[in-house]
A and B are shown apart, each in its own frame.
Chain A
């Protein structure tokens, strides 16, 4: 789809939002899933991010991912630059992207300003990828809520990539034996008592790891403080022993991304510019998985409908096959 077309679409979406934003109310959706009390998550504060991309290279090293580059046709002056992915891919689990407008003079300002955003899996409370995977290769840990991927089960259908509301899972198309790549909160490091690589190296605390409950309280504190107030921003893990980043409260948009989106996510965003500018899509608060599963469960409840239908069809077919073998030529 061309950009122009996309914009047209968004514009129309503007004057018809009332209709589309409304969730599907019918009896169809199944009840939404609830967040686990022990859920872990991340807070990404766009106003603290200075675009150093340390998290990107730390992520590559921690997860043994190969370097990625902008496709040559798009790379312009920086052709061949080592590891310069412009988006998530089968080789990139985490990417920092830039929003810029006009003269791009002031950080975190919408007009003539710029801002950063970090893109990776949001670890949905009710994840679409888990719901759509036909073989259960995507699973959500009932306690930590981490959504992880098992390449030994995956058949490579890429429904997870198509269905994720945030465009996260990516198949590696360059490899004849490719697999899906997606952030898994560095489960392997957590098992060793460490924290995810991106939060570990973030110098400003823009990426902060911790239990979702504590992160929610932290978000509340930041939004409650007046802009300009001195504030100690935690780094690494919330409640950890690292020296904080002493700074001041910025002008937040007062909205939290991830609290309700797609039924809620374990990654939350704070920013100084509106989220759609950062490429964080406008997603309703209803989890898409609950709509699709609700429909399936309604149609296939205990397989009653198919069994009844089969009985009816079989009865009619049998009665109408007076000659025993249906494919006999009619005896006329």
Chain B
């Protein structure tokens, strides 16, 4: 069995330089946001108080960061130790997905200098779904760093912190499954207050379940995506057999999700809404088509055997899950008065900069820390 080792390839490459440049552009616009206000950079307005900084960077970004959650569930709860080689890279992407999601919250908050109020018990407002999400995400970021910390500590002298982590890892792992279950479902519950403002194609009491299950699916999606991209780019042995086995499981979860969603649409008699031609209805169908495609790729044996199957399926899952969130929060939403929203270029650049930073940090970490399994073909 191989062991995890740093890649030790060069840090400065054309790819990392481009990523760095994109991140710098994003930071430039963030500076503008802090100097001149949210409206100077973002197109959010009277009808759309939330734009892509909330929906992409936080709602979608943390779901993409669910790799660590998804794998921990499989490896430690369902005791599938054979998936262990996929654990660390999954945690690493989760680490950045969540940490940068938390950073995005900070620059999106209109009164960020008051953010500590979330932690003061006398301002606690437990009826608010967002309060639960905020505390839970903060706690999970800490848990993620602890879960990942052995990668930093390996080969170092055992200190107090290391002993603590070793001793309590079972509890940390349990929290690493519990907390995402709580806040990813709450990201669905956040929409329960929307009532008629959210199209019935998305508004349902099942929102929490639909959100948490699809976050799990996206978590497995990102694990499969990374495994393919990283092994290709760095000439590492791919975990094909492992991934192929995993994909059957994910395919079945996807089918269950689709069954829940369509069963609910049918039970609420709202399928008529899916039969008109409008932007949101087209999006609804694309969303479902992506999930269905992923399920088929993963389940039909002949398709699953294809060389790119797990990669394509993973992309379909990630795209479907992201679109589902975008639709539920923005496209399926109708403001009270006739406002419309499309992100501005600077607003998009901030989000792109954040994604670039995330990928950049991921690359730096796998090159310097023991994250990936198998020796690189070239040094």
Task: Write out the residue numbers on chain A whose beta carbons fall within 8 Å of the beta carbon of B117.
Answer: 135, 153, 155
Q: How far is the CB of B137 from chain A (nearest CB, A)?
A: 12
Give the distance in Å from the alpha carbon of A99 to the alpha carbon of B276 in the complex. Answer: 27
Given contacts A12-B273, A329-B1, contact A292 B177 (CB under 8 A): no
- Give the interface segment out of A233-241, A249-257, A307-315: A307-315
- In contact, A155 and B193 (Cβ under 8 angstroms): no
Contact of A317 among B35, B173, B208, B278 (CB under 8 A): B173
Contact of B88 among A16, A281, A320, A327 (CB under 8 A): A327
Give the distance in Å from the alpha carbon of A260 to the alpha carbon of B49 in the complex. Answer: 26
- In contact, A134 and B1 (Cβ under 8 angstroms): no
- In contact, B193 and A134 (Cβ under 8 angstroms): no
Contact of A318 among B4, B42, B151, B170 (CB under 8 A): B170
18 A-B residue contacts at CB 8 Å?
Answer: A5-B278, A19-B200, A131-B128, A132-B130, A133-B128, A134-B128, A135-B124, A155-B112, A284-B195, A291-B205, A295-B192, A295-B205, A306-B182, A314-B171, A314-B174, A319-B79, A325-B150, A327-B147
Task: Write out the residue numbers on chain A whose beta carbons fall within 8 Å of the beta carbon of B277.
Answer: 8
0 or 1 for each of B176-206: is its CB under 8 Å from A? (1 = yes) = 0110011001100110111111011000010
- In contact, B196 and A282 (Cβ under 8 angstroms): yes
- In contact, B111 and A330 (Cβ under 8 angstroms): no
Contact of A132 among B77, B128, B199, B331 (CB under 8 A): B128
Given contacts A89-B46, A158-B50, A292-B193, contact A310 B134 (CB under 8 A): no
Q: Which of A2-36 contact B (CB under 8 A)?
A: 2-6, 8-9, 11-13, 15-16, 18-20, 24, 26, 28
Task: Write out the residue numbers on chain A whose beta carbons fall within 8 Å of the beta carbon of B340.
Answer: 1-2
Task: Write out the residue numbers on chain B whose beta carbons fall within 8 Å of the beta carbon of A131.
Answer: 127-128, 193
- In contact, B276 and A158 (Cβ under 8 angstroms): no
B residues near A (Cβ < 8 Å) are 1, 3-4, 33-40, 42, 44-47, 49-50, 75-77, 79, 81, 84, 87-88, 108-112, 114-115, 117-118, 123-132, 134, 147, 150-151, 166, 169-171, 173-175, 177-178, 181-182, 185-186, 189-190, 192-197, 199-200, 205, 208, 268-270, 272-273, 275-280, 331, 333-340
Given contacts A133-B125, A295-B205, A326-B170, contact A154 B114 (CB under 8 A): yes
Give the distance in Å from the alpha carbon of A235 to the alpha carbon of B132 in the complex. Answer: 46
The bracket for how many chain A residues form the interface is 35 or more
Task: Write out the residue numbers on chain A whose beta carbons fall within 8 Å of the beta carbon of B338.
Answer: 3, 6
A304 lies within 8 A of chain B by Cβ: no
A176 lies within 8 A of chain B by Cβ: yes
A residues near B (Cβ < 8 Å) are 1-6, 8-9, 11-13, 15-16, 18-20, 24, 26, 28, 87-89, 128, 131-136, 151-159, 161-163, 165-167, 170-180, 262, 279, 281-284, 286, 288-289, 291-293, 295-296, 299-300, 306, 309-310, 313-314, 316-321, 324-327, 329-330, 332
- In contact, A292 and B192 (Cβ under 8 angstroms): yes
- In contact, B132 and A295 (Cβ under 8 angstroms): no
10 tightest Cβ-Cβ pairs between the two chains A and B: A156-B110, A173-B39, A167-B336, A156-B111, A161-B49, A313-B174, A314-B174, A158-B49, A318-B170, A134-B131
**Beyond the given A1-B333, A326-B170, could you list 10 further A-B residue pairs with CB under 8 A, ordered by the A residue number?**
A16-B272, A20-B270, A167-B336, A176-B34, A178-B38, A295-B189, A296-B132, A314-B171, A316-B76, A326-B173
Task: Write out the residue numbers on chain A whose beta carbons fall within 8 Å of the beta carbon of B175.
Answer: 310
Q: How far is the CB of B130 from chain A (nearest CB, A)?
A: 4
Q: How far is the CB of B370 from chain A (nearest CB, A)?
A: 9
Give the distance in Å from the alpha carbon of A119 to the alpha carbon of B132 in the complex. Answer: 32
Contact of B195 among A154, A179, A262, A314 (CB under 8 A): A262
Contact of B118 among A16, A87, A155 (CB under 8 A): A155
- In contact, B272 and A12 (Cβ under 8 angstroms): yes
- In contact, B88 and A309 (Cβ under 8 angstroms): no
- In contact, B37 and A175 (Cβ under 8 angstroms): yes
Task: Write out the residue numbers on chain B whose beta carbons fall within 8 Å of the beta carbon of A167.
Answer: 46-47, 335-337
Contact of A136 among B125, B171, B275 (CB under 8 A): B125
Task: Write out the residue numbers on chain B whose beta carbons fall within 8 Å of the beta carbon of A8.
Answer: 276-278
- In contact, B44 and A326 (Cβ under 8 angstroms): no
Q: How far is the CB of B127 from chain A (nearest CB, A)?
A: 5
Closest chain B residue to A129, Cβ basis = B193
Q: How far is the CB of A265 from chain B (nearest CB, A)?
A: 14
Task: Write out the residue numbers on chain A whose beta carbons fall within 8 Å of the beta carbon of B77.
Answer: 313, 316-317, 320
Closest chain B residue to A319, Cβ basis = B79
User: Which of B77, B108, B129 has the most A CB atoms < 10 Å from its CB?
Assistant: B129
Task: Write out the residue numbers on chain B whose beta carbons fall within 8 Å of the beta carbon of A314.
Answer: 170-171, 174
Give the distance in Å from the alpha carbon of A163 to the alpha carbon of B174 in the complex. Answer: 33
- In contact, A153 and B177 (Cβ under 8 angstroms): no
Q: How far is the CB of B169 from chain A (nearest CB, A)?
A: 5
- In contact, A153 and B337 (Cβ under 8 angstroms): no
Give the distance in Å from the alpha carbon of A8 to the alpha carbon of B280 in the complex. Answer: 10
Task: Write out the residue numbers on chain A whose beta carbons fall within 8 Å of the beta carbon of B33.
Answer: 176
- In contact, A136 and B124 (Cβ under 8 angstroms): yes
Closest chain B residue to A163, Cβ basis = B193
Task: Write out the residue numbers on chain B whose beta carbons fall within 8 Å of the beta carbon of A313.
Answer: 77, 173-174, 177-178
Contact of A326 among B40, B108, B169, B186 (CB under 8 A): B169
Closest chain B residue to A173, Cβ basis = B39
Task: Write out the residue numbers on chain A whose beta carbons fall within 8 Å of the beta carbon of B49.
Answer: 158, 161-162, 171
Closest chain A residue to B154, Cβ basis = A327
Given contacts A134-B125, A329-B4, contact A16 B169 (CB under 8 A): no
- In contact, B195 and A283 (Cβ under 8 angstroms): yes
Task: Write out the residue numbers on chain B whose beta carbons fall within 8 Å of the beta carbon of A89.
Answer: 46
Task: Write out the residue numbers on chain B whose beta carbons fall within 8 Å of the beta carbon of A12.
Answer: 272-273, 275-276
Task: Write out the residue numbers on chain A whose beta carbons fall within 8 Å of the beta carbon of B171.
Answer: 314, 317
Give the distance in Å from the alpha carbon of A228 to the alpha carbon of B323 in the complex. Answer: 56
Give the distance in Å from the alpha carbon of A5 to the alpha carbon of B128 in the complex. Answer: 32
Closest chain B residue to A71, Cβ basis = B45
Closest chain B residue to A88, Cβ basis = B46
Contact of A320 among B79, B151, B200, B273 (CB under 8 A): B79
Task: Write out the residue numbers on chain B whose beta carbons fall within 8 Å of the beta carbon of A154.
Answer: 110-111, 114
Task: Write out the residue numbers on chain A whose beta carbons fall within 8 Å of the beta carbon of B126.
Answer: 296, 300
Task: Write out the residue numbers on chain B whose beta carbons fall within 8 Å of the beta carbon of A4.
Answer: 278
Q: How far is the CB of B108 from chain A (nearest CB, A)?
A: 8
Q: How far is the CB of A233 from chain B (nearest CB, A)?
A: 28
Give the distance in Å from the alpha carbon of A28 to the alpha carbon of B189 in the complex. Answer: 12
Give the distance in Å from the alpha carbon of A321 to the alpha carbon of B270 in the complex. Answer: 47
- In contact, A317 and B114 (Cβ under 8 angstroms): no
Contact of B279 among A2, A153, A173, A291 (CB under 8 A): A2
